[in-house]
Chain A
Amino acid sequence: MTTTPTETAPATASPLRRLLPGAPAGRDPRGSTLLRHLAVAVFAGTLVVLVTNQLAPYQNLQVARVCAFLCVTAGHTVLVGLNGQLSLGHGALMATGAYTVALTQQALDERAVRGWWTLPASLLAGVAVTALGGLVVGLAAARLRGPYLAGVTLAVATLVPAVTTIFTGVFNGEQGLSFPAQTPPAALGAYFQPERWLAWIALAAALLTMLLLANLVRSRFGRSLVVVRDDEVAARLAGIPVARTQVLAFVVSAACAGLGGGVYAMLTATVAPGKFPLDLSLFLLMAIVIGGLGSLAGAVWGAVLLVALQDLPGLLTEHLSLSAGLAQRLEGNLALAVFGLVLIVVMLAAPGGLQGGVRALTARLRGAVRRRPATRRSPDR
């Protein structure tokens, strides 16, 4: 189950570049990688900001949610796709970040500590605490493989309601916590749309995550991740500390999930255990595989998909007029059935995920000059 058979070739091609069709192609000296990623990030960021200026409040919230999920899926896809460690527990890691941010924001607010820096500080705390959680899980995970790792992380995913109920004094049980909502700075004007401000914060977090991960993936560490995934023995022979690489991958991935969870909490200024059910963890995995495992661009697809999944129910039946009994059975269910079918069809039609499909398509459009063979390693069993 740990095998990751997609044509993850980001060791040679920057995944972030795929975000920008027609961006300057390869041939770059190694030193400019950071700069190029930075340029792409600034460009993408500006584009999104321009778009958010045209959007209504709810659409901006959707953008913000995509960005929050992107932090998580990007880190998750690096762990599962590039390092081959399956985690079904990223929902719980998100919750860790979310609760840390909520508790920090509450504590600061109670002490009347205010200022622009409080949110970044809380998010940083969220990242730190979640990274620590990732370290603990990662230490156990480094000893486990395949379904056994899946079993442990699945158990982690179900922890959130238990922990919040046991320590009700801190986490307030299943009611959860709320903290003051973020408001746009006065400099932006009295009528500045609050949702747009939220989208900008989430965007900043997502860009930062993508930028750091894109560089990490292209670094020496990024290459060791892939080597460890493909062949642990070879990795050892090459002097790569296998266990340490795996633990570190978990820590990095957890840190991203913590940031995403923190931003996710910030968007609604609430946390509750019910927001991080087992389904969320499963859907996160689904998102990165459908998006294209191991690819940061695929993580973007995945994040969009997660938001679509939340928005879909109601959209379909809203426009149908049905008899009451029938409507009641179809409402919600119809949307889920359609979504499930789409998942299956995508997975069968494009085994490399959406990004794999896009890649194949663009390669064909370019006349298939140096098309990467689409054959996959048969999973070692």
Chain B
Amino acid sequence: MERFWFLTFDGLAAGAVYAAFALALVLIWRAARVVNFAQGAMAVATAYVGYAVVSATGSYWLGLAAAILSGLALGALVERVLMRFAGPGGPLNQVIVALGLVLVIQAVLGMIFGNEYRPAPAPFDTDALTIAGVAALSPYDLWVLGAALTVVALLAVLFTRTPIGLRMRAAAFAPEVSRLLGVSVGRMLTLGWALAAAVGALAGMLVVPTGLGLHSHAMDLVFVIAFTAAVVGGLDSPVGAVVGGLLVGLILSYVTGYLGPDTTPLAVLVLLLAVLLVRPGGLFSAARARHV
């Protein structure tokens, strides 16, 4: 039983990280109806910026702010310079442009910063608090979890309560109609990409200290797992992203702990099939999946 609780906490800590990153994917899906395969690489790029500021100023929070701001800028840039022109070719073209972008970003980061892992200090203690002899969550895990939940709350307010959020949703769901209604669809798309990249940047800053360190490939694995989490939760639902992230984190932890580290990809596939065959639009799909 002690083992079970330990694995549960371990899974929640990992899941919080996946949830944060899945949120960024959901955000961009809602804004632009595209899965951004470059999200991981973009987040790494902004994390490099963030940690450069951290080491220059000594303040984690300044670094975090710098990462998020550079995320905003990078997202807007990618949309304005690339995705806008790839868009007419269709979503698959955007996926391919994103994959090309991954190559470019990772290569450029490698050229500038070299191939080594760089330390990514965490702002809070990473030593786990012990509850009844079980190593539970560390203060840092709590910060990650709190940050992810805060972002969800903010997004919920943005998308349901603010005019700009509503316009963004409208622009994504029905671009033609929105245009007729006077919504600047292009601007909404740019905003969507910027916001998503900013959330991605935040997620990147949260993820990197838990892994091997800062490196151009630091988010490769996380991207795959977070994508799974977003799909499990339902790509349209920020709440789904968080639930999906925690669920995937827990399952990976249980499977790794009880069955061994090799079996996790199988477990992920089984989870995906189990969820999607019952609910083809993910756990939190609002309606039956539309046939796109």
Contacts and interface: CB of A to CB of B under 8 A. Distances in A.
Q: Which 5 A-B pairs have the closest CB atoms?
A: A351-B89, A340-B103, A151-B231, A343-B100, A337-B107
B82 interface: yes
A185 interface: no
Interface residues of B, number: 60
A357 to B, nearest CB: 12
A344 B100 contact: yes
Please report whether the interface of chain A is mostly helix, strand, loop or mixed according to DSSP: helix
B265 A329 contact: no
Contact of A278 (B100, B114, B224, B282): B224
A341 B262 contact: no
A132 B61 CA distance: 53
Given A145-B292, A351-B93, A156 B269 contact: yes
B280 A347 contact: no
A57 interface: no
A289 B100 contact: no
| Contact residues on A (Cβ < 8 Å of other chain), bracket | 35 or more
B96 A289 contact: yes
Contact of A381 (B82, B99, B175): B175
A151 B272 contact: yes
Interface in B92-147: 92-93, 95-97, 99-104, 106-108, 110-112, 114-115
Nearest to A349: B85
B17 interface: no
B92 A293 contact: yes
B280 A145 contact: yes
Interface in A323-381: 328-330, 332-337, 339-344, 347-348, 351-352, 376, 378-381
Given A152-B273, A340-B104, 14 more contacts: A3-B90, A143-B277, A144-B280, A146-B292, A148-B276, A152-B231, A285-B96, A286-B99, A289-B95, A289-B96, A337-B104, A337-B108, A343-B100, A347-B89
Contacts of A4: 90, 92
Contact of B276 (A6, A144, A278): A144
B228 interface: yes
A336 B29 CA distance: 27
Given A2-B292, A380-B292, A381-B175, A148 B262 contact: no
Contact of A155 (B85, B103, B268, B277): B268
Contacts of A380: 292
Interface of A: 1-6, 80, 86, 140, 143-148, 150-152, 154-156, 158-159, 161-163, 165-166, 232, 278, 282, 285-286, 289-290, 293, 328-330, 332-337, 339-344, 347-348, 351-352, 376, 378-381
Contacts of B213: none
B96 A143 contact: no
B257 interface: no
Contacts of B292: 1-3, 145-146, 380-381
Nearest to A380: B292
Contact of B85 (A333, A342, A348, A381): A348
